[in-house]
Amino acid sequence: MEKDKNTIDSITIGKLIKELKKTYPDISSSKLRFLESQGLVSPKRALNKYRVYTKNDIKRINFILKVQKDFYLPLDIIKEKINSKEFEKYFKDGKSIENMQLDLGKEFKEKQKNKDLTSDELKKKLKLAQSFIDDLIDYNIIESRDDNGKIIINGDDIQIVKMAKELSKYGIHVKHLQMFENFAIRHSSFIQQIIMPLMSSSKKDLHRKGKKVALRLENDLSLFHGLLLRKENRKFLEKNK
């Protein structure tokens, strides 16, 4: 216990709370115990059964609090990510929490990492034909704006361009992707209908809940869509054995 208390690598819950309060004033010991009960962290125990938080535990907790605060993600989704092999690798490699956060879903990654690019910059960066980018804009797959004669591509759309490039290797043309854009619009409208009562509320917690529900539905609907797609493909493969 004495050793645990005095080493920098491991601290008790009270000391950890003091540190975390500098960034997260609302943090409490009950919250840390709750995170443990939900399997998001597993602090070791001293001889007196006190929790002992190691550097890795602290990293995990910082990560959890950060994504909760910034992305409103529910704990089960955070748990899924934090217990993945990818995250273990991050810990082993000693990479920063910021890097881990960037990996939490491409949508967040792109928001943090990608800056707006001109059409020319994007063309060079991804080695694309101008006509390919023009088609993506024309078919409303990505958004662009005119800035003093330069075509600017929204940073959030760059991942979409990358994926479109990948799909083109299979002979999938931009015009085919419009079908998916239409699906996305319909799915988004569906989600909007569901969360509208929450988002139109003046209560902050309901507003926050609306964001959480939207993120969850994005994940669940993507998963659901994937399962249906897989099911149909299996049928086809069975038929054509």
Does 26 participate in binding DNA (rule CB under 7 A)?
yes
- Give strand pairing partners of 152: 118, 145
| Helix (H/G/I), strand (E/B), else coil: 148 | coil
**Size, binding site for DNA by CB under 7 A:** 34
Q: Are 29 and 19 in contact (CB under 8 A)?
A: no
- Closest to DNA by CB, 153 or 198: 198
**Strands, E, within the chain: which ranges?**
10-11, 44-45, 51-54, 117-118, 144-147, 150-153
| Helix (H/G/I), strand (E/B), else coil: 126 | helix
Q: β-strands 150-153, 117-118: how paired?
A: antiparallel
User: In angstroms, what is the minimal distance from the CB of 37 to DNA?
Assistant: 6
CA 153 to chain centre: 21
Residues composing the chain:
241
Stretch that binds DNA, among 80-88, 121-129, 144-152, 205-213 (CB under 7 A): 205-213
CA distance 12 to 21: 14
Does 17 participate in binding DNA (rule CB under 7 A)?
yes
Site string for DNA, 51-90 (x = CB under 7 A): x----------------x-----xxx--------------
Does 95 participate in binding DNA (rule CB under 7 A)?
no
Does 233 participate in binding DNA (rule CB under 7 A)?
no
- Closest to DNA by CB, 21 or 150: 21
Does 12 participate in binding DNA (rule CB under 7 A)?
yes
Give residues in contact with DNA (CB under 7 A).
Answer: 1-2, 5, 12-15, 17, 26, 28-31, 33-34, 37-38, 45, 47-51, 68, 74-76, 197-198, 203, 205-206, 209, 212
